[in-house]
Chains A and B, each alone.
Chain A
Amino acid sequence: QQQVKQSPQSLIVQKGGISIINCAYENTAFDYFPWYQQFPGKGPALLIAIRPDVSEKKEGRFTISFNKSAKQFSLHIMDSQPGDSATYFCAASIFIGGGNKLTFGTGTQLKVEL
């Protein structure tokens, strides 16, 4: 199975700080890279996504940085808030069989402290 490596496994950030989560992939056929936020007992919710022809995408406090040559991408959460405390998954999508198929990273448990 195609792998997406994610780090760190857990992260503690002070309120107002910057949370940074990193992911790396091997398969250059991946063509879409979404990030998901998951609260306990809930399904993942799409947060932000990027295509490999773009190096950065920003939506509000969330920014994805993408390095195609290094096959790495990261999520930056600016001005982190306690409400951002959740598990974050990066994913990579490959177009196969007429549609996309997602491979998820291992997840990062973020805790934002007051």
Chain B
Amino acid sequence: GAVVSQHPSWVICKSGTSVKIECRSLDFQATTMFWYRQFPKQSLMLMATSNEGSKATYEQGVEKDKFLINHASLTLSTLTVTSAHPEDSSFYICSARVVAGGRHEQYFGPGTRLTVT
């Protein structure tokens, strides 16, 4: 259980275009999902918290107009990188929160490799 998928697994786009990444919880509902960014051989940095039916909460230094997050249903959150530039090239990973027995766990998706040319 607690499987999280991401689509696409990798994407190449041209500078100035926008790209959408989907995060789905496959066998559970998630009112909260998280988006992380990971550079090669580095740690995961939290970008934003996505809440179903409400606006996302962005971490300090993350441009909300550039990284648009929509959590339209209990099983889907999307991250749109708008007007992408080469410096946006990174590994984007989502996670979904599971609450069970009073505990909060995050289950991670397989990640999306974005390359902006």
Residue positions of A touching B, CB distance < 8 A: 1, 32, 34, 36, 41-46, 49, 89, 93, 95, 97, 99-107, 109
B106 touches A43 (CB 8 A): no
B97 proximal to A (CB < 8 A):
yes
B113 proximal to A (CB < 8 A):
yes
Told that A43-B95, A107-B43 touch, could you supply 19 new A-B pairs with CB distance under 8 A? A1-B59, A32-B103, A34-B105, A41-B113, A43-B93, A49-B105, A89-B44, A95-B104, A97-B49, A97-B57, A99-B32, A99-B49, A99-B97, A100-B104, A101-B46, A101-B49, A104-B44, A105-B43, A107-B41
The listed residue with most B CB atoms (<10 A of its CB), out of A34, A93, A97, A101, is: A101
* A107 partner, pick from B42, B103, B104, beta carbons under 8 A: B42
For chain B, the count of residues having a C-beta within 8 Å of the partner chain is 28
* A44 partner, pick from B32, B42, B44, B45, beta carbons under 8 A: B44
B67 proximal to A (CB < 8 A):
no
**Complex: A93 Cα to B48 Cα, angstroms:** 15
B43 touches A104 (CB 8 A): yes
**Complex: A98 Cα to B91 Cα, angstroms:** 27
**Complex: A46 Cα to B96 Cα, angstroms:** 12
B43 touches A100 (CB 8 A): no
- List residues of chain B with CB within 8 A of the CB of A105: 43
